[in-house]
Structure 1
Amino acid sequence: MTRRDFLSLAAKAIAGTSLGFALGPFLAAAHCVVTRTSVTLRGLPREFDGFRIALLTDLHHSEWIPRSYLRQIVDRTNLQDVDLIALTGDLIHCGRPWIPGCVSELSRLQARRGVVSVLGNHDHADYAAAPLRHALRSAGIYDLTNDGIDLRRRGAEFRIGGVGDLWRDRQRPRKALSGAMSAESALLLSHNPDYAETLRDERVGLMLSGHTHGGQVIIPGIGAPHLPSRYGQKYREGLCQGPIVRVYVSRGSGSSFPPVRIACPPEIAIITLRSLPESRT
Protein backbone atom coordinates (compact mmCIF):
# COMPACT_ATOMS: atom_id res chain seq x y z
CA MET A 1 0.00 0.00 0.00
CA THR A 2 1.42 3.38 -1.02
CA ARG A 3 1.46 6.39 1.29
CA ARG A 4 -1.20 8.01 -0.92
CA ASP A 5 -3.45 4.95 -0.59
CA PHE A 6 -2.92 4.87 3.18
CA LEU A 7 -3.72 8.54 3.62
CA SER A 8 -6.80 8.17 1.46
CA LEU A 9 -8.02 5.19 3.47
CA ALA A 10 -7.37 6.87 6.81
CA ALA A 11 -8.95 10.13 5.71
CA LYS A 12 -12.10 8.32 4.62
CA ALA A 13 -12.23 6.64 8.02
CA ILE A 14 -12.54 9.95 9.85
CA ALA A 15 -13.85 12.41 7.30
CA GLY A 16 -17.16 10.84 6.39
CA THR A 17 -18.89 13.47 8.49
CA SER A 18 -17.83 16.71 10.11
CA LEU A 19 -18.26 14.99 13.47
CA GLY A 20 -15.90 12.22 12.44
CA PHE A 21 -13.22 14.69 11.52
CA ALA A 22 -13.76 16.61 14.73
CA LEU A 23 -13.03 13.40 16.61
CA GLY A 24 -9.73 13.00 14.79
CA PRO A 25 -7.51 14.82 17.29
CA PHE A 26 -9.24 12.97 20.12
CA LEU A 27 -8.57 9.62 18.50
CA ALA A 28 -4.98 10.60 17.78
CA ALA A 29 -4.00 12.09 21.06
CA ALA A 30 -6.36 11.62 23.96
CA HIS A 31 -5.16 8.16 24.99
CA CYS A 32 -1.42 8.72 25.35
CA VAL A 33 0.08 5.96 27.50
CA VAL A 34 3.24 5.78 29.60
CA THR A 35 5.39 2.81 28.64
CA ARG A 36 8.37 1.51 30.62
CA THR A 37 11.43 -0.33 29.33
CA SER A 38 14.77 -1.29 30.86
CA VAL A 39 17.89 -1.60 28.69
CA THR A 40 21.25 -2.96 29.85
CA LEU A 41 24.37 -1.30 28.42
CA ARG A 42 27.70 -3.11 28.74
CA GLY A 43 29.65 0.12 29.03
CA LEU A 44 27.33 2.01 31.34
CA PRO A 45 29.20 3.04 34.51
CA ARG A 46 27.65 1.60 37.65
CA GLU A 47 27.17 5.15 38.90
CA PHE A 48 24.52 5.56 36.18
CA ASP A 49 22.73 2.30 36.89
CA GLY A 50 19.02 3.09 37.10
CA PHE A 51 19.33 6.33 35.09
CA ARG A 52 15.83 7.13 33.82
CA ILE A 53 15.03 8.91 30.54
CA ALA A 54 11.69 10.15 29.26
CA LEU A 55 11.55 10.01 25.47
CA LEU A 56 9.16 12.45 23.80
CA THR A 57 8.96 12.62 20.04
CA ASP A 58 6.69 13.44 17.10
CA LEU A 59 4.47 15.90 18.90
CA HIS A 60 3.54 17.52 15.57
CA HIS A 61 2.13 20.68 17.14
CA SER A 62 -0.38 21.95 14.57
CA GLU A 63 -4.04 22.68 14.07
CA TRP A 64 -4.88 19.07 14.96
CA ILE A 65 -2.41 18.73 17.87
CA PRO A 66 -3.20 21.87 19.88
CA ARG A 67 -1.15 23.53 22.55
CA SER A 68 -3.56 22.30 25.23
CA TYR A 69 -2.59 18.73 24.35
CA LEU A 70 1.13 19.53 24.57
CA ARG A 71 0.44 20.97 28.00
CA GLN A 72 -1.06 17.66 29.12
CA ILE A 73 1.92 15.72 27.74
CA VAL A 74 4.36 17.98 29.58
CA ASP A 75 2.42 17.67 32.83
CA ARG A 76 2.32 13.86 32.59
CA THR A 77 6.02 13.70 31.75
CA ASN A 78 6.94 15.86 34.74
CA LEU A 79 5.09 13.43 37.00
CA GLN A 80 7.48 10.64 35.97
CA ASP A 81 10.39 12.11 37.98
CA VAL A 82 13.13 11.21 35.46
CA ASP A 83 16.81 12.08 35.25
CA LEU A 84 16.74 13.30 31.63
CA ILE A 85 14.16 14.15 28.98
CA ALA A 86 15.06 13.46 25.34
CA LEU A 87 13.18 15.09 22.47
CA THR A 88 13.81 13.38 19.14
CA GLY A 89 12.15 15.68 16.67
CA ASP A 90 9.05 16.51 14.66
CA LEU A 91 8.06 18.82 17.48
CA ILE A 92 6.07 20.99 15.07
CA HIS A 93 4.32 20.15 11.82
CA CYS A 94 5.54 22.08 8.82
CA GLY A 95 5.52 25.69 9.88
CA ARG A 96 7.32 28.38 11.85
CA PRO A 97 4.08 29.79 13.34
CA TRP A 98 3.88 26.74 15.59
CA ILE A 99 7.28 27.32 17.22
CA PRO A 100 6.34 29.78 20.02
CA GLY A 101 3.49 27.76 21.48
CA CYS A 102 5.37 24.48 21.23
CA VAL A 103 8.56 25.75 22.85
CA SER A 104 6.62 27.61 25.52
CA GLU A 105 5.09 24.33 26.66
CA LEU A 106 8.33 22.32 26.33
CA SER A 107 10.14 24.90 28.44
CA ARG A 108 8.13 23.63 31.42
CA LEU A 109 9.66 20.14 31.21
CA GLN A 110 11.53 19.18 34.37
CA ALA A 111 14.26 16.58 34.81
CA ARG A 112 17.22 16.38 37.16
CA ARG A 113 19.78 16.53 34.34
CA GLY A 114 17.81 18.70 31.95
CA VAL A 115 16.28 18.34 28.50
CA VAL A 116 18.11 17.50 25.26
CA SER A 117 16.84 17.53 21.68
CA VAL A 118 17.40 16.87 18.00
CA LEU A 119 15.11 17.84 15.12
CA GLY A 120 13.06 15.74 12.72
CA ASN A 121 12.21 16.10 9.06
CA HIS A 122 9.01 18.10 9.66
CA ASP A 123 10.94 20.58 11.82
CA HIS A 124 12.90 21.58 8.71
CA ALA A 125 9.83 22.54 6.63
CA ASP A 126 9.14 26.23 6.01
CA TYR A 127 12.77 27.00 6.96
CA ALA A 128 11.83 26.37 10.58
CA ALA A 129 14.94 24.47 11.73
CA ALA A 130 17.14 27.46 12.62
CA PRO A 131 14.49 29.46 14.52
CA LEU A 132 13.29 26.31 16.26
CA ARG A 133 16.80 25.46 17.45
CA HIS A 134 17.26 29.03 18.64
CA ALA A 135 13.98 28.95 20.55
CA LEU A 136 14.82 25.62 22.17
CA ARG A 137 18.25 26.85 23.27
CA SER A 138 16.70 30.03 24.64
CA ALA A 139 14.33 27.86 26.67
CA GLY A 140 17.25 26.00 28.24
CA ILE A 141 16.93 22.87 26.09
CA TYR A 142 20.25 21.46 24.84
CA ASP A 143 20.49 21.16 21.05
CA LEU A 144 22.43 17.95 20.38
CA THR A 145 22.36 18.13 16.58
CA ASN A 146 25.74 16.62 15.65
CA ASP A 147 26.95 17.39 19.14
CA GLY A 148 27.01 15.82 22.57
CA ILE A 149 27.37 16.35 26.29
CA ASP A 150 29.10 14.41 29.03
CA LEU A 151 27.02 13.71 32.10
CA ARG A 152 28.99 13.20 35.32
CA ARG A 153 27.98 11.36 38.45
CA ARG A 154 30.31 10.54 41.35
CA GLY A 155 33.38 10.75 39.12
CA ALA A 156 31.95 8.67 36.26
CA GLU A 157 30.99 9.99 32.81
CA PHE A 158 28.28 9.03 30.33
CA ARG A 159 28.11 10.49 26.82
CA ILE A 160 24.84 11.57 25.22
CA GLY A 161 24.98 12.74 21.62
CA GLY A 162 22.70 13.43 18.69
CA VAL A 163 22.76 13.61 14.90
CA GLY A 164 20.85 15.58 12.30
CA ASP A 165 17.77 14.19 10.63
CA LEU A 166 18.46 11.44 8.09
CA TRP A 167 16.26 13.00 5.39
CA ARG A 168 16.87 16.72 5.89
CA ASP A 169 20.24 17.19 7.57
CA ARG A 170 23.75 15.78 8.01
CA GLN A 171 24.88 13.13 10.45
CA ARG A 172 28.23 13.59 12.17
CA PRO A 173 28.51 10.90 14.83
CA ARG A 174 32.22 11.44 15.41
CA LYS A 175 31.60 14.80 17.04
CA ALA A 176 28.44 13.63 18.77
CA LEU A 177 30.27 10.73 20.41
CA SER A 178 33.56 12.48 21.13
CA GLY A 179 34.86 11.35 24.49
CA ALA A 180 33.07 8.01 24.62
CA MET A 181 35.79 5.40 24.98
CA SER A 182 34.34 1.90 25.33
CA ALA A 183 31.65 -0.27 23.75
CA GLU A 184 28.05 0.63 24.65
CA SER A 185 29.18 3.64 26.66
CA ALA A 186 27.07 6.28 24.90
CA LEU A 187 23.49 7.15 24.04
CA LEU A 188 22.60 8.66 20.65
CA LEU A 189 19.51 10.62 19.57
CA SER A 190 18.37 10.30 15.96
CA HIS A 191 14.89 11.19 14.77
CA ASN A 192 14.88 8.54 12.07
CA PRO A 193 15.60 4.95 13.21
CA ASP A 194 16.76 3.97 9.71
CA TYR A 195 20.04 5.67 10.58
CA ALA A 196 20.88 2.57 12.64
CA GLU A 197 21.38 0.66 9.38
CA THR A 198 24.47 2.72 8.54
CA LEU A 199 25.73 3.38 12.07
CA ARG A 200 28.69 1.12 12.82
CA ASP A 201 29.98 2.72 16.01
CA GLU A 202 29.98 0.16 18.82
CA ARG A 203 30.30 2.89 21.43
CA VAL A 204 26.57 3.51 21.02
CA GLY A 205 24.73 1.28 23.44
CA LEU A 206 21.30 2.60 22.53
CA MET A 207 19.81 4.96 19.98
CA LEU A 208 16.57 6.80 20.73
CA SER A 209 14.28 7.55 17.80
CA GLY A 210 10.75 8.26 16.65
CA HIS A 211 9.56 9.09 13.13
CA THR A 212 7.53 5.95 12.39
CA HIS A 213 4.64 6.72 14.79
CA GLY A 214 4.32 2.97 15.20
CA GLY A 215 2.43 3.11 11.93
CA GLN A 216 -0.51 4.97 13.57
CA VAL A 217 -2.93 2.40 12.14
CA ILE A 218 -2.35 -1.29 12.89
CA ILE A 219 -4.25 -4.03 11.10
CA PRO A 220 -4.27 -7.38 13.00
CA GLY A 221 -2.17 -9.99 11.23
CA ILE A 222 -0.69 -7.44 8.88
CA GLY A 223 0.85 -4.68 10.97
CA ALA A 224 1.15 -1.12 9.77
CA PRO A 225 0.02 -0.58 6.17
CA HIS A 226 2.38 2.34 5.89
CA LEU A 227 5.66 3.09 7.65
CA PRO A 228 8.07 5.87 6.63
CA SER A 229 11.01 3.45 6.67
CA ARG A 230 13.04 1.65 4.03
CA TYR A 231 13.09 -1.48 6.19
CA GLY A 232 9.47 -2.52 6.39
CA GLN A 233 8.19 -3.28 9.88
CA LYS A 234 11.67 -3.61 11.41
CA TYR A 235 11.69 -0.23 13.14
CA ARG A 236 7.98 0.12 13.75
CA GLU A 237 8.12 0.55 17.53
CA GLY A 238 9.78 -0.51 20.75
CA LEU A 239 13.25 -1.98 21.25
CA CYS A 240 14.72 -2.96 17.87
CA GLN A 241 18.07 -4.38 16.80
CA GLY A 242 20.02 -2.71 14.02
CA PRO A 243 23.11 -4.24 12.41
CA ILE A 244 25.24 -3.01 15.32
CA VAL A 245 23.19 -0.70 17.54
CA ARG A 246 19.94 -1.27 19.41
CA VAL A 247 17.23 1.32 18.87
CA TYR A 248 14.24 2.28 20.96
CA VAL A 249 11.60 3.59 18.58
CA SER A 250 8.79 5.52 20.22
CA ARG A 251 5.33 5.53 18.69
CA GLY A 252 5.39 9.27 19.29
CA SER A 253 3.38 11.47 21.60
CA GLY A 254 1.33 13.19 18.91
CA SER A 255 0.15 12.37 15.41
CA SER A 256 0.68 13.42 11.83
CA PHE A 257 -2.14 13.92 9.35
CA PRO A 258 -4.67 12.37 9.27
CA PRO A 259 -4.82 12.45 13.08
CA VAL A 260 -6.02 8.88 13.57
CA ARG A 261 -4.54 6.06 15.60
CA ILE A 262 -5.97 2.56 15.58
CA ALA A 263 -4.47 -0.08 17.90
CA CYS A 264 -1.43 2.18 18.18
CA PRO A 265 -1.77 4.69 21.03
CA PRO A 266 0.72 7.56 21.38
CA GLU A 267 3.24 7.16 24.16
CA ILE A 268 5.54 8.77 26.66
CA ALA A 269 8.40 6.27 26.84
CA ILE A 270 10.29 5.87 30.11
CA ILE A 271 13.61 4.07 29.59
CA THR A 272 15.71 2.89 32.51
CA LEU A 273 19.38 2.25 31.77
CA ARG A 274 21.04 -0.61 33.63
CA SER A 275 24.70 -1.49 33.94
CA LEU A 276 25.97 -5.06 33.90
CA PRO A 277 25.44 -6.83 37.25
CA GLU A 278 29.17 -7.27 37.83
CA SER A 279 29.79 -3.54 37.40
CA ARG A 280 27.25 -2.69 40.11
CA THR A 281 29.28 -4.29 42.87
Structure 2
Amino acid sequence: MHTKRKILAVITLIFFMAVVVLAYGYFYARLPAVVEAEITLRDLPAEFDGTKIVFISDIHLGPWRSGQWLSKIVSKINGLQPDLVLLGGDYVERGTEYMESAFDELSKLKSPLGIYGVMGNHDYLRGVQLAPVFMNRAGIEFLDNTGFWIYQQEARIKISGLGDLYFGEQLYEQALGEAVSEDTVILVSHQPDYVESLPDDRVDLMLSGHTHGGQITLFGLWAPIVPSKFGDKYISGFYETPMTKLLVSNGLGTFKYPLRYFARPQINVVILRAGG
Protein backbone atom coordinates (compact mmCIF):
# COMPACT_ATOMS: atom_id res chain seq x y z
CA MET A 1 0.00 0.00 0.00
CA HIS A 2 2.83 2.35 0.86
CA THR A 3 4.43 1.75 -2.56
CA LYS A 4 1.10 2.32 -4.32
CA ARG A 5 0.66 5.65 -2.53
CA LYS A 6 4.14 6.71 -3.65
CA ILE A 7 3.40 5.79 -7.24
CA LEU A 8 0.08 7.64 -7.11
CA ALA A 9 1.80 10.71 -5.63
CA VAL A 10 4.42 10.69 -8.40
CA ILE A 11 1.76 10.33 -11.10
CA THR A 12 -0.27 13.16 -9.55
CA LEU A 13 2.80 15.39 -9.40
CA ILE A 14 3.72 14.67 -13.02
CA PHE A 15 0.15 15.37 -14.13
CA PHE A 16 0.04 18.63 -12.17
CA MET A 17 3.39 19.76 -13.61
CA ALA A 18 2.25 18.92 -17.15
CA VAL A 19 -0.93 20.98 -16.68
CA VAL A 20 1.10 23.92 -15.35
CA VAL A 21 3.59 23.75 -18.23
CA LEU A 22 0.84 23.53 -20.86
CA ALA A 23 -1.16 26.35 -19.27
CA TYR A 24 1.94 28.54 -19.13
CA GLY A 25 2.70 27.94 -22.82
CA TYR A 26 -0.90 28.60 -23.82
CA PHE A 27 -1.36 31.88 -21.96
CA TYR A 28 2.20 33.07 -22.72
CA ALA A 29 1.38 32.65 -26.41
CA ARG A 30 -1.53 35.08 -26.05
CA LEU A 31 0.39 37.94 -24.43
CA PRO A 32 2.23 39.94 -27.12
CA ALA A 33 5.05 42.24 -26.15
CA VAL A 34 5.54 45.61 -27.81
CA VAL A 35 9.19 45.57 -28.88
CA GLU A 36 10.61 48.93 -29.96
CA ALA A 37 13.83 49.53 -31.85
CA GLU A 38 15.38 52.68 -33.29
CA ILE A 39 17.02 51.88 -36.61
CA THR A 40 19.31 54.34 -38.34
CA LEU A 41 19.25 54.38 -42.13
CA ARG A 42 22.03 56.16 -43.92
CA ASP A 43 19.96 57.63 -46.76
CA LEU A 44 16.78 58.36 -44.84
CA PRO A 45 15.47 61.85 -45.66
CA ALA A 46 15.29 64.18 -42.67
CA GLU A 47 11.52 64.48 -43.20
CA PHE A 48 11.16 60.80 -42.23
CA ASP A 49 13.34 61.01 -39.12
CA GLY A 50 11.26 59.71 -36.21
CA THR A 51 8.74 57.92 -38.43
CA LYS A 52 7.06 55.15 -36.43
CA ILE A 53 6.46 51.85 -38.22
CA VAL A 54 4.46 49.04 -36.66
CA PHE A 55 5.30 45.65 -38.14
CA ILE A 56 3.32 42.51 -37.36
CA SER A 57 3.49 39.05 -38.86
CA ASP A 58 2.19 35.49 -38.51
CA ILE A 59 -1.25 36.17 -37.08
CA HIS A 60 -2.40 32.61 -37.90
CA LEU A 61 -6.08 33.26 -37.23
CA GLY A 62 -7.82 29.92 -36.82
CA PRO A 63 -9.28 27.53 -34.25
CA TRP A 64 -6.94 28.78 -31.53
CA ARG A 65 -7.01 32.48 -32.46
CA SER A 66 -10.36 34.27 -32.74
CA GLY A 67 -11.38 37.53 -34.33
CA GLN A 68 -11.90 38.88 -30.82
CA TRP A 69 -8.25 38.19 -29.99
CA LEU A 70 -7.15 39.97 -33.18
CA SER A 71 -9.46 42.89 -32.38
CA LYS A 72 -7.52 43.46 -29.16
CA ILE A 73 -4.24 43.37 -31.10
CA VAL A 74 -5.56 45.96 -33.56
CA SER A 75 -6.69 48.22 -30.70
CA LYS A 76 -3.25 47.96 -29.12
CA ILE A 77 -1.57 48.87 -32.42
CA ASN A 78 -3.86 51.86 -32.96
CA GLY A 79 -3.01 52.98 -29.44
CA LEU A 80 0.65 53.14 -30.50
CA GLN A 81 -0.31 55.76 -33.13
CA PRO A 82 1.90 54.44 -35.94
CA ASP A 83 2.74 56.50 -39.00
CA LEU A 84 2.94 53.36 -41.13
CA VAL A 85 1.80 49.75 -40.67
CA LEU A 86 3.45 46.82 -42.45
CA LEU A 87 2.14 43.26 -42.43
CA GLY A 88 4.41 40.25 -42.92
CA GLY A 89 1.96 37.53 -43.99
CA ASP A 90 0.49 34.29 -42.62
CA TYR A 91 -2.84 35.85 -41.73
CA VAL A 92 -4.63 32.51 -41.26
CA GLU A 93 -3.69 29.13 -39.86
CA ARG A 94 -6.07 26.97 -41.83
CA GLY A 95 -9.32 27.25 -43.74
CA THR A 96 -10.38 30.13 -45.95
CA GLU A 97 -13.29 30.82 -43.58
CA TYR A 98 -10.86 32.65 -41.31
CA MET A 99 -9.53 34.92 -44.06
CA GLU A 100 -12.56 37.22 -44.05
CA SER A 101 -12.55 37.49 -40.26
CA ALA A 102 -8.84 38.33 -40.23
CA PHE A 103 -9.17 41.18 -42.68
CA ASP A 104 -12.39 42.47 -41.13
CA GLU A 105 -10.32 43.19 -38.02
CA LEU A 106 -7.22 44.40 -39.89
CA SER A 107 -9.41 46.90 -41.78
CA LYS A 108 -9.69 48.81 -38.48
CA LEU A 109 -5.97 49.61 -38.40
CA LYS A 110 -5.22 53.35 -38.58
CA SER A 111 -2.09 54.75 -40.18
CA PRO A 112 -1.67 58.09 -42.00
CA LEU A 113 1.02 56.77 -44.36
CA GLY A 114 -0.92 53.63 -45.21
CA ILE A 115 -1.06 49.91 -44.51
CA TYR A 116 0.83 47.46 -46.71
CA GLY A 117 1.15 43.69 -46.57
CA VAL A 118 2.64 40.63 -48.24
CA MET A 119 1.37 37.06 -48.15
CA GLY A 120 3.04 34.22 -46.27
CA ASN A 121 3.24 30.53 -47.08
CA HIS A 122 0.03 29.73 -45.17
CA ASP A 123 -1.87 32.34 -47.17
CA TYR A 124 -0.83 30.67 -50.42
CA LEU A 125 -1.96 27.31 -49.10
CA ARG A 126 -5.25 28.55 -47.67
CA GLY A 127 -6.40 31.16 -50.15
CA VAL A 128 -3.95 32.43 -52.73
CA GLN A 129 -6.78 33.98 -54.74
CA LEU A 130 -8.67 35.30 -51.71
CA ALA A 131 -6.01 37.11 -49.69
CA PRO A 132 -5.43 39.95 -52.21
CA VAL A 133 -9.20 40.44 -52.55
CA PHE A 134 -9.77 40.70 -48.81
CA MET A 135 -6.72 42.94 -48.41
CA ASN A 136 -8.09 45.31 -51.02
CA ARG A 137 -11.50 45.41 -49.31
CA ALA A 138 -9.77 46.14 -46.00
CA GLY A 139 -7.90 49.12 -47.47
CA ILE A 140 -4.55 47.32 -47.28
CA GLU A 141 -2.16 47.67 -50.21
CA PHE A 142 -1.14 44.27 -51.59
CA LEU A 143 2.65 44.36 -51.61
CA ASP A 144 3.77 41.10 -53.24
CA ASN A 145 6.33 41.90 -55.94
CA THR A 146 5.47 45.56 -56.09
CA GLY A 147 6.35 48.79 -54.36
CA PHE A 148 4.92 52.16 -53.39
CA TRP A 149 6.56 55.52 -52.83
CA ILE A 150 5.35 57.26 -49.69
CA TYR A 151 5.88 60.97 -49.19
CA GLN A 152 6.52 63.45 -46.42
CA GLN A 153 6.46 66.92 -47.99
CA GLU A 154 8.81 66.59 -51.00
CA ALA A 155 10.81 63.66 -49.61
CA ARG A 156 10.00 60.03 -50.34
CA ILE A 157 10.91 56.47 -49.37
CA LYS A 158 9.90 53.23 -51.03
CA ILE A 159 8.01 50.36 -49.44
CA SER A 160 8.44 47.13 -51.41
CA GLY A 161 7.45 43.50 -50.92
CA LEU A 162 8.20 40.07 -52.32
CA GLY A 163 6.16 36.93 -52.87
CA ASP A 164 6.53 33.99 -50.53
CA LEU A 165 9.83 32.15 -50.77
CA TYR A 166 8.18 28.71 -50.83
CA PHE A 167 5.10 29.14 -52.99
CA GLY A 168 5.36 32.54 -54.66
CA GLU A 169 7.75 34.45 -56.87
CA GLN A 170 10.41 36.90 -55.79
CA LEU A 171 10.43 39.55 -58.51
CA TYR A 172 13.01 41.82 -56.95
CA GLU A 173 13.46 44.23 -59.86
CA GLN A 174 9.72 44.61 -60.26
CA ALA A 175 9.31 45.27 -56.54
CA LEU A 176 12.03 47.93 -56.36
CA GLY A 177 11.32 49.49 -59.74
CA GLU A 178 13.32 52.64 -60.40
CA ALA A 179 14.69 52.90 -56.85
CA VAL A 180 18.44 53.49 -56.73
CA SER A 181 21.05 53.06 -54.01
CA GLU A 182 20.61 56.65 -52.84
CA ASP A 183 16.90 56.07 -52.15
CA THR A 184 15.58 54.60 -48.90
CA VAL A 185 13.94 51.24 -49.53
CA ILE A 186 12.17 49.11 -46.92
CA LEU A 187 11.49 45.56 -48.11
CA VAL A 188 8.93 43.18 -46.58
CA SER A 189 9.63 39.49 -47.15
CA HIS A 190 7.77 36.85 -45.16
CA GLN A 191 10.83 34.62 -44.85
CA PRO A 192 14.11 36.11 -43.61
CA ASP A 193 16.10 33.60 -45.70
CA TYR A 194 15.76 35.89 -48.72
CA VAL A 195 18.27 38.26 -47.12
CA GLU A 196 21.03 35.99 -48.43
CA SER A 197 19.66 36.22 -51.97
CA LEU A 198 19.54 40.02 -52.25
CA PRO A 199 21.24 40.86 -55.55
CA ASP A 200 22.38 44.37 -54.56
CA ASP A 201 22.47 46.88 -51.71
CA ARG A 202 19.44 48.99 -52.62
CA VAL A 203 17.42 47.67 -49.67
CA ASP A 204 18.10 49.66 -46.50
CA LEU A 205 15.92 47.60 -44.16
CA MET A 206 14.23 44.23 -44.57
CA LEU A 207 11.34 43.13 -42.33
CA SER A 208 10.45 39.45 -41.95
CA GLY A 209 8.59 36.96 -39.78
CA HIS A 210 7.92 33.25 -40.39
CA THR A 211 10.24 31.80 -37.71
CA HIS A 212 8.00 32.57 -34.69
CA GLY A 213 11.27 33.06 -32.82
CA GLY A 214 11.42 29.27 -32.64
CA GLN A 215 7.98 29.23 -30.93
CA ILE A 216 8.87 26.36 -28.58
CA THR A 217 12.37 26.89 -27.23
CA LEU A 218 14.53 25.74 -24.36
CA PHE A 219 14.74 28.90 -22.24
CA GLY A 220 15.23 30.92 -25.44
CA LEU A 221 18.61 29.27 -26.00
CA TRP A 222 17.68 26.53 -28.45
CA ALA A 223 14.70 25.71 -30.64
CA PRO A 224 14.25 22.17 -31.98
CA ILE A 225 12.40 23.41 -35.07
CA VAL A 226 13.19 26.61 -36.97
CA PRO A 227 11.62 26.84 -40.46
CA SER A 228 14.76 28.12 -42.19
CA LYS A 229 17.49 26.50 -44.23
CA PHE A 230 19.92 28.57 -42.15
CA GLY A 231 18.73 27.11 -38.85
CA ASP A 232 18.64 29.71 -36.09
CA LYS A 233 20.88 32.20 -37.92
CA TYR A 234 17.94 34.59 -38.43
CA ILE A 235 15.57 33.28 -35.77
CA SER A 236 14.58 36.57 -34.11
CA GLY A 237 15.68 40.16 -33.64
CA PHE A 238 17.94 42.60 -35.45
CA TYR A 239 20.79 41.67 -37.79
CA GLU A 240 23.41 43.60 -39.74
CA THR A 241 24.02 41.63 -42.93
CA PRO A 242 26.40 42.36 -45.82
CA MET A 243 23.58 43.73 -48.00
CA THR A 244 21.09 45.26 -45.56
CA LYS A 245 19.71 45.55 -42.05
CA LEU A 246 17.22 42.84 -41.11
CA LEU A 247 14.53 42.70 -38.44
CA VAL A 248 12.88 39.33 -37.78
CA SER A 249 9.70 39.35 -35.71
CA ASN A 250 8.55 36.51 -33.45
CA GLY A 251 5.11 37.10 -34.93
CA LEU A 252 1.80 36.96 -33.10
CA GLY A 253 0.24 33.54 -33.59
CA THR A 254 1.32 29.93 -33.41
CA PHE A 255 1.68 27.02 -35.83
CA LYS A 256 0.19 23.60 -35.11
CA TYR A 257 0.35 23.83 -31.32
CA PRO A 258 -1.18 26.87 -29.53
CA LEU A 259 1.88 27.13 -27.32
CA ARG A 260 4.98 29.27 -26.98
CA TYR A 261 7.94 28.91 -24.65
CA PHE A 262 10.50 31.69 -24.30
CA ALA A 263 9.57 33.09 -27.72
CA ARG A 264 6.98 35.67 -26.76
CA PRO A 265 4.68 37.00 -29.50
CA GLN A 266 5.59 40.47 -30.67
CA ILE A 267 4.25 43.72 -32.02
CA ASN A 268 7.35 45.33 -33.47
CA VAL A 269 7.75 49.11 -33.45
CA VAL A 270 10.51 50.57 -35.60
CA ILE A 271 11.49 54.22 -35.19
CA LEU A 272 13.38 55.36 -38.26
CA ARG A 273 16.39 57.59 -37.71
CA ALA A 274 18.37 59.50 -40.31
CA GLY A 275 22.09 58.81 -40.12
CA GLY A 276 25.24 59.99 -41.83
Provide TM-score, normalisation by structure 2.
Answer: 0.89
Q: 1:137 offset after TM fit, Å?
A: 0.7
Q: Is it true that 1:27 corresponds to 2:25 in the alignment?
A: no
Match of 2:68 in 1: 68
Match of 1:251 in 2: 250
Taking the aligned partners of 2:222 and 2:242, their CA distance within structure 1 comes to 22
Taking the aligned partners of 1:93 and 1:221, their CA distance within structure 2 comes to 24
Shift of the 36–222 alpha-carbon distance from structure 1 to 2, 3 Å rule, reads closer
Taking the aligned partners of 1:94 and 1:113, their CA distance within structure 2 comes to 31
Taking the aligned partners of 2:68 and 2:43, their CA distance within structure 1 comes to 40
Contact 1:42-1:183 within 8 A present in 2 as well:
no
Q: 1:185 offset after TM fit, Å?
A: 1.6
Structure 1 unpaired stretches of 5+: 1-12
Taking the aligned partners of 1:22 and 1:64, their CA distance within structure 2 comes to 14
Letter in 2 for 1:96: T
Q: Is it true that 1:41 corresponds to 2:41 in the alignment?
A: yes
Map of 1:263-278 to 2, 5 A cutoff? 263-276=262-275, 278=276
Q: Is it true that 1:239 corresponds to 2:205 in the alignment?
A: no
Match of 1:140 in 2: 139
Q: 1:101 offset after TM fit, Å?
A: 0.7
Identical counterparts, % of pairs? 37
Taking the aligned partners of 1:65 and 1:96, their CA distance within structure 2 comes to 14
Q: Is it true that 1:87 corresponds to 2:60 in the alignment?
A: no
Q: 1:222 offset after TM fit, Å?
A: 3.9
SS in 1 for 2:129: helix
Q: CA deviation digits over 1:123-165, x for unaligned, max 9?
A: 1113x02111111111110001000000111211101100000
Map of 1:165-204 to 2, 5 A cutoff? 165-183=164-182, 185-204=184-203
Q: Is it true that 1:114 corresponds to 2:128 in the alignment?
A: no
Letter in 1 for 2:270: I
Shift of the 184–206 alpha-carbon distance from structure 1 to 2, 3 Å rule, reads farther
Taking the aligned partners of 2:157 and 2:28, their CA distance within structure 1 comes to 39
Taking the aligned partners of 1:63 and 1:23, their CA distance within structure 2 comes to 19
Match of 1:4 in 2: none
Contact 2:186-2:203 within 8 A present in 1 as well:
yes
Letter in 1 for 2:199: R
Contact 2:220-2:262 within 8 A present in 1 as well:
no
Taking the aligned partners of 1:21 and 1:264, their CA distance within structure 2 comes to 15
Provide TM-score, normalisation by structure 1.
Answer: 0.88
Contact 1:74-1:105 within 8 A present in 2 as well:
yes
Taking the aligned partners of 1:263 and 1:58, their CA distance within structure 2 comes to 17
Contact 1:196-1:243 within 8 A present in 2 as well:
no
Structure 2 unpaired stretches of 5+: 1-14
User: How many pairs does the alignment contain?
Assistant: 262
Q: CA deviation digits over 1:50-78, x for unaligned, max 9?
A: 11110010000000111111011101000
Moved over 4 A (4+): 19-25
Q: CA deviation digits over 1:240-265, x for unaligned, max 9?
A: 23341221000001111211111111
Q: 1:25 offset after TM fit, Å?
A: 4.5
The structure with the larger Rg is: 2
Q: 1:184 offset after TM fit, Å?
A: 6.3
